[in-house]
Structure 1
Amino acid sequence: MRPLPLQGRVVVITGASRRIGIGAALARRAVADGAGALLHTWSPHDAEQPWGADAGGTEALLTELRAAGGRVEHVALDLVDPDAPAQVIAAACEAFGHVDALVANHARSSGQDLEHLTAAELDHSYAVNTRATLLLAQVFAAQHDDDRPGGRILLFTSGQHHDAMPGELPYIASKAALHEVTRSLAVHLAPRCITVNCVNPGPNDTGYADAETHAAIAAANPGGRWSQPTDTAHLVAWLLSDEAAWVTGQTIASDGGWSSR
């Protein structure tokens, strides 16, 4: 029988609106590893993007995970609301009684370059990508039982510290803040046996790129392909496990060498 490294633990995973996305891959792996999972989604953001919302995505994902024996609950909240992070953690505690790990995978993208930059979008991106993540970490830590093993916070940045992204200024500015805050959170929470790490998943094949962009990024990657959501899930699964209990304050890329070009 396959070992279940997260048996009995509960993970909150944000940004799981699309079945093709990273959040869904994280949820599948967490459930396969024995965890209970509270999935956060906000499909209206996807509906604003060129790729559109995943019609039926959340319910289909929940059905899939439960059919596989997963203990899964769901909450849909707009993280631009300053009260939403507390509501996410409260929903998980109500459903499962406790939360052992937070995986802050959510992201807002706007596609604004310098000429099209607006104060409104800067505020919106910081609210969702930075403020909500820090508030999630705050509320998670406040409810955490330090006598339980496996205290974990995983933040998600992007590759802005490796490669220029001039067409995504609000996104990369707000994601860069998470990269920089990781070590400070890790030091603060280390005495409580909660690790804090940050994941840079690299360019992930989640259906947003057109054919030309897809081919160009695959050709530019030293590994000759895009990262897949399952690649990211492998790293996250390890960071959530007991094997990574002595790893904290790190920003780790899972990008096939993209950041080493």
Structure 2
Amino acid sequence: MSSRKIALVTGASKGIGAAIALTLARDGFDIWLNYRSDHAAAAEVARQVEAAGASCRLVCCDVADASAVKETLGPLLENESPEVLVNNAGHAKDTLMVWMGEDEWKDVLSVHLDGFFLVTKLVLVGMLKRRSGRIINIASTSGQSGVAGQVNYSAAKAGLIGATKALALETAKRKVLVNAVAPGFIETDMVAGLPKEKIVPMIPLGRIGTPEEVAEVVSFLASDKASYITGQVIAVNGGIYL
């Protein structure tokens, strides 16, 4: 069995999740790479992780599906326990609330909040027994400031921030540190269709961020350098929300 520590990253087949997986692999972690359905993209990230010298276990399941999470993660956790969990899985279904359907509300809350609950509850047991661990939740500026057209997404991310703070209090005595990272506009599929000519002038740094810039903050929170930080929300947003 490898002596390297394990990092489980959810929603890691592309975008911010993929960047986090690659950065943590560079840092010396073996990766459990969770994804829902894009097998080709996940396989490519796994190839890059292994090229960086780490091992990569593909963990295919929908984090919002309780039975799938238990069936997929349960057997793995019988033998090994991640040192780091990054709850990154999520998606947006943007529309004004007056036109929002129940499915658009429930689906977005489910992947962010149910996904956080189901995965974290399983992984947390090993961390508490070991008396060490890092849980890093990927929130959003939308959960801090609110964004029109994203009542569902803002509610989900704000809920994740609240859960981060509460869980940090519950686990501190067992040396399990829980923090959140709140990205602003980052070059991913989620911003691909947005009017950048309108967005960029709103950002004090004058540009959209990269997934790697978010991943480096996760890297810091997963490292020994962040040993006295818990219950915090670190924004990576170019100054768009202060």
User: TM-score, with normalisation over the residues of structure 2?
Assistant: 0.90
Does the 8 Å contact 1:204/1:226 carry over to 2? yes
Change (3 A) 1:33 1:220: same
Match of residue 70, structure 2, among 86, 109, 114: 86
Aligned to 1:139: 122
- Structure 1 Cα separation of the partners of residues 11 and 143 of structure 2: 22
Residue 111 in 1 paired to residue 107 in 2?
no
Instruction: Write the distance in 2 (CA, Å) between the matches of 1:174 and 1:211.
Output: 22
Aligned residues: 240
Structure 1 match to 2:51: 67
Q: Percent identity between the aligned chains?
A: 28
Q: 1:127–1:208: structure 2 CA closer, same or farther, 3 Å change rule?
A: closer
- What is the deviation of 1:211? 6.9
Structure with bigger helix share is 2
Distance across 1 between alignment mates of 2:53 and 2:75: 20
- Aligned counterpart, 2:109: 126
1:67-121 Cα shifts (integer Å, max 9, x gaps): 2221111112122312233345436436x72211110011121113212212222
Give secondary structure in 1 for the equivalent of 2:33.
Answer: strand
Q: Quote how far apart the aligned CAs of 1:241 are.
A: 0.4
Distance (Å, rounded) in 1 between the aligned partners of 2:212 and 2:20: 8
Q: CA deviation at 1:8?
A: 2.0
Rounded to whole Å, the distance in 2 between the matches of 1:245 and 1:176 is 25
- Give 2:32's aligned amino acid: L
Q: 1:154 aligns with which of 136, 139, 163?
A: 136
SS of residue paired to 1:259: coil
1:35 correspondence with 2:17: no
Structure 1: unaligned runs, 5 residues or longer: 1-6, 44-52
Summarize the Cα distance change of 1:238–1:91 in structure 2 as closer, same or farther, 3 Å threshold. farther
> What pairs up with 1:217-228 in 2 under 5 angstroms?
217-228=199-210
What TM-score, normalized to structure 1? Answer: 0.84
In 2, the alpha carbon distance for the partners of 1:104 and 1:92 equals 17
Which segments of 5 or more consecutive residues in structure 2 lack a partner in the other structure?
A: none
Give 1:243 deviation, angstroms: 1.1
Tell which deviates more after alignment, 240-249 or 96-105. 96-105
Q: 5 Å matches for 1:1-40?
A: 8-18=4-14, 21-40=15-34
Change (3 A) 1:174 1:37: same
